[in-house]
Amino acid sequence: MKSHDLVIVGAGPAGLAAAELAARLGARVALIERDRLGGTSVNTGTVPSKALIRLGTLFAAMREASHLRHPDGDEPVANFQRVAARLRAIEHRVGSFHSAERLRRAGVEVHFGVARFVGERTLVAGSRRLNFRNALVTTGARATPPSIPGLVEGSYVTSDTLFSLEHLPRELAVIGGGALGCELAQAFRRLGSRVTIFQDEPRFLPGEERDAAQILAQSMARDGVTIRLNTSVVSARREPNAVVLETQNNQHNAEARADLVLVSVGRTPATQGLGLDAAGIRMDAAQGIVVDKFLRTTNPRVYAAGDVCLPYRYTHVAERTARMAVGNLLGEGARQSHTNLTIPWCTFCAPEIAHVGLQAWEARKKNIPIRTFTVMMQDIDRAIIDRQDVGFVKLHVAGGSDTILGATIVASRASEMINEVCVAMSTGIGLRALAKVIHIYPSQSDAIRIAALALDEPLAPA
Amino acid sequence: MALTNRLQRGAFGYFRAYTNPLNGLVADTSRAGSPCSIAVVGFALSCQAVAVERGWCSREEAARAVLTTLEFFWDSPQGGGANATGNKGFFYHFLDMKSGQRVWDCELSLIDTALLIAGVLSVGQYFVRERPVERRIRQLAESLYRRVDWVWAQNDSPTLSQGWHPDYGFLHYGWEGYDEALLIYLLGLGSPTSPLSPRSFTTWTLTYQWERLLGQDVLYSGPLFTHLFPQAWIDLREIRDAFMREKRSDYFRNTCRTVELQREYCERNPRGFLGYGRDIWGLSAGDGPTMRASGECPSDQRHFGYMARGAPFGPDDGTLCPWAMMVTLPFTPEAALSGTRALLAEYPQACLEDRFASGINPTVDPESGGWLSEGWYGLDQGLLVMSIENARTQLIWSLLRGSTHIRRGLIRAGFRGGWLS
């Protein structure tokens, strides 16, 4: 049996991007998927969650607008069956870009089944045996199951299982104040659920700027989310119509009832059943598959990309690193290192919190001198016009230069605005050049230009 | 001068009215049933020195009152038991005004102990005459300071915890970012018995946040009190630690810039709150309204009750601390005086009996002049008395400049220059 040039395990965003690129490069490619094409991102993660957030935003806007309408009108109420139908339609539409048929037309062999390494250059997929010259593991990550006594299968959902809901929960308890937990807590609240979020740390989003996390907490509280910081869920029990959570805040015990519990405590690399040992691929429990900076595993013929091996678990990172891995495997040029990437990320709450590059605290820890320029969105005309003036733009530049080292943006469309900073950072455009770029007036991204202008402005007298 | 005299005297009157003369404990607020706050006791002790210098009481009277307080804290039970007043030299945040026992299931508080101990050190520096009462004050001041186990409060981590509870141990969060914890670190670093390491301080300063905000380069901390509490006692003019050397600033100038930032913020007044302006400002920790607006529209305004408010990142619900302008007198006298005068002209009800209320929110209930906090808070009054005195005579700053413990703490934190030279 002739070897494949490349066998890819996992058809999420990373696997799909890798397969399409490898086929374009003329390689004989096989793509193995155990479930549905598109992986977590399309089917249970990014796409449906962002669609849900969008619908929550819509209802929040309707409520805001309702303050301007005639007082006899009704408050907008979400019809969750229609919400769920909209989510499925969006998933279907986005997923259709990646049908097996389209992939086959592009020259990719698609196999459905559970993949397992049986040797250093051999895999089985269902009943088929595939020999490879190179392989790429892109199996992603799965929601980490909770380790809370009494919270057993069936009494909770994760982001992997949440989107099959048909009814809006009346009382939703969210365990975990990371990005996804906050996003979904706010979205469900805006759709009409009563939501309580439990975070066992003093603030949400522990890796983000303090001010950003504080603004997020204020925004969630304003939406009516009940916030329980410094609170751990220590046990759970099922009652006929509810799950009862026992919580602990500095050992003050309390109970909370919910008809749905969403556990959002992180994601674990999906490596179970892959037979990594048989291929000589080393695995780390926290990091996932161990790779070098070129994404090569401990088996020199096998690479990995995306959530299964990297700490930045985002769709855009998965796609980029998968293409990088294919380039490193099949390309003829110099190999690229994933450690050189400029990686932005975003928490899609209202307001959104987007970040790229260094955080201020990281710079101080690494003894890198920086200057930080901050503009509040409340001073930006377009944000005022849109009534989206909560947040800020913070730009960090290297001390004594205008080289941008990082940025945090908190704004209603921070996910769009951060891309301008990414372009500047990736191409070496300094803050002075950014200040000279004419921006549309009025626009929220003008905040970036105004922050950049401060570099050469004299200080106001104190 | 007449205005500052009047307000300083009015603020001191709080301690006359709300101190238990039998044990020296001072009520947290003027409200009925208020327990003692140990932090307020720290301010009250320093205010006794001011009262003597201002002629509001005799030195003997002040010394007796101070000694009563120090003896209470020295003699009160320490240990892990629930009825103790403190543990490891620290004290519980709130105490019963009569018995001195812990109330409200409160925590053993690092910052409130630090505020108490700063007051203790100040009276140890002030009562220096060779009289038995003053000798005893000095002994007890030294003993109370030496008894504090600052290293224990690190809970085996590089930086300090926020507190400890007898039932469940250390609070699982610490100090992050520049704030009033500077006072704890300086006291801890200066301890001859249980000194914090310089590394603990520099590790904490790694969380500092220096940025250009509203036209000012500042070491950011939103609420004013976080800048002012340490500097009620410690003169930070023109002395610099490594961070401030790098930024070519100092904590005093940084406070001046923070005042300017608050004025700029209140002039811009992005949320359109009533009362805010270049001459009426002052976001800090204080009492505020608690009612919650109905509906979930983003334009709805929620109110936070007692809360540390700050600019420009918030939280901000339209509540200002009417005392917060005057307490910046040592830093930005023009802003402090013009602001206070503007406030008194517009909202005279915020300063009944020459004593500022904790909070005012002109946006809430505007027909009746705005929401006003009931009664008075001891922290505000103590800070007023001391700040006005530092602006006039630098009395409290001078006292602590003479403390070998404070000097050692500053030097071990890396401070150089100015009066330390």
pLDDT per residue as tens digits for the range B208-219: 999 999 999 999
Q: What's the average model confidence in pLDDT over A385-400?
A: 96
A198, with CB counted inside 10 A (0-12, 13-18, 19+), is buried
Q: Among all residues of chain A, which has the CA nearest to that of B301?
A: A222
More confident residue, A70 or B203: B203
A 10 A CB-CB count for A227 gives: 18
Interior/surface letters A415-453, b for 16+ CB within 10 angstroms, e for the rest: bebbebbbebbeeebbbeebbeeebeeeebbbbbbbbbb
Best A201, A205, A209, A211 residue to mutate vs chain B (most B CBs within 10 Å): A211
Distance (Å) from the alpha carbon of B416 to chain A's nearest alpha carbon = 21
Cβ within 8 Å, pair B313-A215: yes
Count contacts between A and B (CB, < 8 Å): 100
Task: State residue A333's pLDDT score.
Answer: 84
Best A250, A253, A380 residue to mutate vs chain B (most B CBs within 10 Å): A250
pLDDT per residue as tens digits for the range A275-290: 999 999 999 988 899 9
Q: Does A224 touch chain B (CB under 8 A)?
A: yes
Has residue A42 got a pLDDT over 80? Answer: no
Cβ within 8 Å, pair A376-B214: yes
Its pTM stands at 0.92
Distance (Å) from the alpha carbon of B238 to chain A's nearest alpha carbon = 16
Q: Does B357 touch chain A (CB under 8 A)?
A: no
Residue spans per domain, chain B: 2-420
Predicted ipTM? 0.90
Q: Does A394 touch chain B (CB under 8 A)?
A: yes
Task: State residue B123's pLDDT score.
Answer: 98
Chain A residues lying within 8 Å of B313, measured CB to CB: 211, 214-215, 392
Has residue A233 got a pLDDT over 70? Answer: yes
User: Do A147 and A21 form a contact (C-beta atoms < 8 A)?
Assistant: no
A 10 A CB-CB count for A313 gives: 20
Q: Does B210 touch chain A (CB under 8 A)?
A: yes
Question: Tokens for B406?
Answer: 């404070």
Chain B residues lying within 8 Å of A405, measured CB to CB: none
User: Do A264 and A179 form a contact (C-beta atoms < 8 A)?
Assistant: no
Q: Among all residues of chain A, which has the CA nearest to that of B331?
A: A462
Distance (Å) from the alpha carbon of A91 to chain B's nearest alpha carbon = 29
Cβ within 8 Å, pair B209-A251: no
User: Do A396 and A371 form a contact (C-beta atoms < 8 A)?
Assistant: yes
Distance (Å) from the alpha carbon of A43 to chain B's nearest alpha carbon = 31
Has residue B336 got a pLDDT over 50? Answer: yes
Q: Among all residues of chain A, which has the CA nearest to that of B259?
A: A462
Task: State residue A206's pLDDT score.
Answer: 86
Measured between alpha carbons, how far is B421 from B413 in angstroms, rounded to an integer? 15
Task: State residue A40's pLDDT score.
Answer: 76
Selecting from A224, A389, A459 the residue whose C-beta is nearest the C-beta of B296 gives A224
Q: Does B167 touch chain A (CB under 8 A)?
A: yes
pLDDT per residue as tens digits for the range B392-402: 999 999 999 99
Has residue B294 got a pLDDT over 60? Answer: no
Distance (Å) from the alpha carbon of A434 to chain B's nearest alpha carbon = 17
Q: Among all residues of chain A, which has the CA nearest to that of B260?
A: A462
Chain B residues lying within 8 Å of A376, measured CB to CB: 213-214, 270, 312
More confident residue, B301 or A51: A51
pLDDT per residue as tens digits for the range A2-11: 789 999 999 9
Q: What's the average model confidence in pLDDT over B225-243?
A: 98
Measured between alpha carbons, how far is A457 from A168 in angstroms, rounded to an integer? 52
Has residue A74 got a pLDDT over 80? Answer: no
Which residues, numbered 295 to 354 in chain B, qualify as contacts with chain A under a Cβ-Cβ cut-off of 8 Å? Answer: 295-300, 302, 312-315
Measured between alpha carbons, how far is A75 from A60 in angstroms, rounded to an integer? 11
pLDDT per residue as tens digits for the range B124-161: 999 999 999 999 999 999 999 999 999 999 999 999 99
Task: State residue A350's pLDDT score.
Answer: 96
More confident residue, B295 or A428: A428
Measured between alpha carbons, how far is B319 from B305 in angstroms, rounded to an integer? 9
Best B105, B165, B262, B313 residue to mutate vs chain A (most A CBs within 10 Å): B313
Residue A366's pLDDT band (cuts 50, 70, 90) = very high
Of the candidates A175, A207, A176, A179, which has an alpha carbon nearest to the alpha carbon of residue A347? A179
Question: Tokens for B249?
Answer: 């600033």
H or E segment at B65? Answer: helix B59-75
Cβ within 8 Å, pair A215-B314: yes
Q: Among all residues of chain B, which has the CA nearest to that of A379?
A: B270
A 10 A CB-CB count for A167 gives: 10
Has residue A351 got a pLDDT over 80? Answer: yes
Chain A residues lying within 8 Å of B254, measured CB to CB: none
Interior/surface letters B107-119, b for 16+ CB within 10 angstroms, e for the rest: bbbbbbbbbbbbb
Chain B residues lying within 8 Å of A459, measured CB to CB: 212, 215-217
User: Do B220 and B209 form a contact (C-beta atoms < 8 A)?
Assistant: yes
Cβ within 8 Å, pair B211-A214: no
Across B136-231, the runs of DSSP E, i.e. the strands, are: 163-165, 169-170, 210-213, 216-219
Distance (Å) from the alpha carbon of A251 to chain B's nearest alpha carbon = 6
Chain A residues lying within 8 Å of B315, measured CB to CB: 214, 218
Q: Does A92 touch chain B (CB under 8 A)?
A: no
User: Do A362 and B208 form a contact (C-beta atoms < 8 A)?
Assistant: no
Has residue A272 got a pLDDT over 90? Answer: yes
Cis, peptide link before residue A351, omega less than 30° from 0: yes
Residue B171's pLDDT band (cuts 50, 70, 90) = confident
Q: Among all residues of chain B, which has the CA nearest to that of A68?
A: B297
Of the candidates A112, A150, A154, which has an alpha carbon nearest to the alpha carbon of residue A15? A112
| Mean pLDDT (chain A, rounded) | 93
Task: State residue A1's pLDDT score.
Answer: 64
- High-pLDDT (> 90) share of chain A, %: 79
End-to-end CA distance of chain A: 78
Q: Which of A330-334, A347-351, A431-435, B236-240 has the lowest mean pLDDT?
A: A330-334
Task: State residue A461's pLDDT score.
Answer: 64
Measured between alpha carbons, how far is A193 from A64 in angstroms, rounded to an integer? 18
Has residue A48 got a pLDDT over 70? Answer: yes
Q: What's the average model confidence in pLDDT over B68-93?
A: 93
- Number of alpha carbons in the 13 Å side-chain half-sphere of residue B181: 25
Best A247, A365, A378, A405 residue to mutate vs chain B (most B CBs within 10 Å): A378
Cβ within 8 Å, pair A376-B215: no
Q: Does B267 touch chain A (CB under 8 A)?
A: no
pLDDT per residue as tens digits for the range A394-405: 999 999 999 999
Of the candidates B49, B77, B53, B43, which has an alpha carbon nearest to the alpha carbon of residue B62? B49
At the topology level of CATH, where does B2-420 sit? Glycosyltransferase (1.50.10)
Residue B298's pLDDT band (cuts 50, 70, 90) = very low
Q: Does A68 touch chain B (CB under 8 A)?
A: no
Task: State residue B94's pLDDT score.
Answer: 97
pLDDT per residue as tens digits for the range B32-53: 999 999 999 999 999 999 999 9
pLDDT per residue as tens digits for the range A165-222: 889 999 999 999 999 999 999 999 999 999 999 999 989 998 888 999 999 999 999 9
Q: Does A272 touch chain B (CB under 8 A)?
A: no
Cβ within 8 Å, pair A364-B206: yes
Cβ within 8 Å, pair A378-B177: no
Measured between alpha carbons, how far is B355 from B8 in angstroms, rounded to an integer? 8
| Mean pLDDT (chain B, rounded) | 95
